[in-house]
Amino acid sequence: MSNFELDILFEDDDIVVVNKPAGLLTHPSWLTPKGTQNLASMLKIHLKGGTVYTVHRLDRATSGVLMVAKNKPAAQQLTQDFTEHNIEKTYLCVVRGFAPIEGVIDYPLKYKHDKKAEPFANPDKPAQDAITHFKRLACVELPISVGKWPCARYSLVQAKPQTGRKHQLRRHFKHILCPIVGDTNYGEGRHNKLFREHLAINRLLLMAASLTFFHPNNKQKMTINAPFSPELIILFNRFSWDEHIILS
């Protein structure tokens, strides 16, 4: 079982912002073995039993900036800001192929019903609006054969979701035929295998790189960046993507 440590990027009387590692649950889940680490429980210990108010979440496989509130007024304000799209979430991801230079993916997504996690939810909800803005930052071509192709191409993409649907970025990039590397649900196994066997990367290459928001109490505009893990620094150096590495 993994032993994750709490990486706090910012903390005051109202909020805590952390750098969530890939593989760590945001909340406890009855679908995982008892005792599985989760961020909410770790923060509760850090706050010496204080209440943790979750105002947004990241998939277990996604790493990066995640913010929680420490009191109800802060939670209410931040929840409102997320609902009204006053908070900007910026992601970085590595996708298959040479992605378009920039664009907007406007593709409604039908609710993904998990029968185990949500046995009483309505599985027939209509598709919801889903919009993602993206920009290609860099490309790389590897001299490794994949399928019928003599080489493998990948892109580093910056993505800013305008909406917050379940697995939105992962499903949107699959829709434009540029699935995120390491995605076991929406990606391509042969490319995931290439990264495992040739680059020692065995994770979803999707990172919540930064969060820009107004502090719920003093209204100061803040941007918090998530430093890269050592494995990502090594990968980006290998691909000559050094200028896009976030260190602090």
Catalytic residues: 59
CA atoms 92, 97, 101, 102: torsion sign: negative
Q: Using CA atoms, how far apart are residues 140 and 199, in angstroms rounded to an integer?
A: 13
Residue with tokens 């996604």: 62
Q: Around Cβ 214, how many Cβ atoms within 10 Å?
A: 15
Which residues lie closer than 8 Å to 142 by C-beta, 6 or more apart?
Answer: 151, 152, 153, 154, 194, 198
Token representation of residue 83: 């609902």
CB 63 within 8 A of CB 69: no
Question: Containing H/E element for 68?
Answer: strand 63-69
Virtual torsion, Cα 79, 92, 21, 7, nearest 10 deg: -70
